[in-house]
Amino acid sequence: MKPLHKGYLLAAISVLAFSSIFIISKILLSKIHIIQFGFYWYGFALLWLMLFMLKVFRWSWLKDLGKTGWIALVASGFLEVLTAGFFFLSIREFENPALVAFLGNMGPALITLLSVLLLHDRLNKIEVAGVALALTGALIISYNGSIEWSSLFIPGSLYVVLAYVFDALSTIVAKKYIGRVHPYLFSLNRSIYLFIISFVLLAASGISFSIPAEAWKYAIIGSLLGPFVTSVVFFYALRYMEAWRYAMLMTTRSILVLFISWLVLSVFPLVYQLIGGLVTITGVILITTGQRQLKRLSAIIPKKNLWKNK
């Protein structure tokens, strides 16, 4: 198999796995408390990642961190806790998880804007148009059909916005320090922080550690597909393909979640929400096209020496 074809295959697996967690987490959150969800979801994810690390881990990854690398991991850990918390709150609140996926397309727009503010990147006209479309589409999707400010947007919309703001900040941290911190350490770090925070909250709240038997299969499958397969396969895909190609494939995520939601949950967005979703996808495509012209997407690809077995 040609390297590019292998990259597309791995990227497709990553996108499909990521799409599935919108549905699996929605089902699981209907059966258990969100704190129980975090404990088991990231507890199992930590298990899968640690088993994987037994094969690939190199002590040089820790030796090469330095003070700035450890600071980056701490900052990324807390940002990921906020990202995941607000993301799964939005999944719980939205009747249709496809809307959360469509709103997620504003993520690249937020990352682009924050890159300008924090990393002093410059935007070209294509990127500006893409950011404008992505944010406009998000507003259309969030509209609740009311003219009163208190009920202008769909309940839970704020959770989505906050989730992707913190996700954008976490991405900026990873982008800035990817040359010092191995990508797998970011993935492991995320699950460690979320598991510990969930454990502390669960113990302090008095909520039972016990969950229904039916919930176990969703926690195991979801943790395997989400925090583990999605992140690990993503980094493997970037070995064989350019980041802009992966970014383009990620625009299909919303369509996949829409289709799976319709099949499994029997829910479908309203017409104006679909239009807003298509507008956000168009915005992401423009942002990716603009970044490809500036070769800015290459900045998220790990440096080659990180992949060597030191």
Per residue in 115-163, pLDDT (tens digit) is 778 767 777 888 888 888 888 888 888 877 666 665 667 778 889 889 9
Output the six-digit token pair for 289. 């096209």
Pair 191, 52: CB distance under 8 Å: no
Confidence at 75, pLDDT banded by 50, 70, 90: very high
In angstroms, what is the C-alpha Rg of the chain? Answer: 19
Q: What is the DSSP letter of 2?
A: -
* Mean pLDDT along residues 175-201: 87
Specify the number of domains making up the chain. Answer: 1
Q: 253 is in which domain, residue-wise?
A: 3-307
Nearest of 59, 76, 58 to residue 68 by alpha carbon = 76
